[in-house]
Amino acid sequence: MARLGMIVDADGHYAEVPSAWASKLPLKRRKAAPRIAVERDGRERFTVGDLWVMPSSGGKKSTNQMGNMGIGDGLNPRIRNSRKPIIQGRRLAQAHPGASDGRARLKFMDDEGISVSVLYPTLGLACIPG
């Protein structure tokens, strides 16, 4: 592929792994850490302590699509090469490895010719109002 210059991803997102917060906190504070809770029906919800913070149109509604994060940005070749978006309910663990693993993300960036990526949190954005 011929390079036209530096390609910058100015709005990349990192999908925090579920253990990112609790594993860093003292044992007595871990219950209050942000986490992914899995309901009896298998759906996931993002919580901080006992509060649900994952926004949804239906209020305190859980989601089965946390693993869909990033698919609109081309991390999945099936979607990137498709004329129609393919959005299915996927768990966070089913997301592209580059969504949460630095080495996998760098390989993806190299494969796509991306020179630099500015990364923002993904799950953490649910805590920001509006």
- Using one digit for the tens of pLDDT, what is the confidence trace for 18-47? 778 888 889 998 888 888 777 777 777 777
Q: Model's pTM, two decimal places?
A: 0.61
- Using one digit for the tens of pLDDT, what is the confidence trace for 1-17? 565 688 999 988 887 77
Considering the domain boundaries, does residue 106 fall inside one? yes
Considering the domain boundaries, does residue 31 fall inside one? yes
Considering the domain boundaries, does residue 1 fall inside one? no
**Domain containing residue 100:** 8-127
Considering the domain boundaries, does residue 119 fall inside one? yes
Considering the domain boundaries, does residue 71 fall inside one? yes
Structural domains in the chain (count): 1
Give dist(CA 31, CA 17) in Å, integer: 16
What are the start-end ranges of the E strands in 39-130? 44-48, 51-52, 116-121
Considering the domain boundaries, does residue 41 fall inside one? yes
Considering the domain boundaries, does residue 115 fall inside one? yes
CA atoms within 13 A on the CB side of 119: 18
Considering the domain boundaries, does residue 2 fall inside one? no
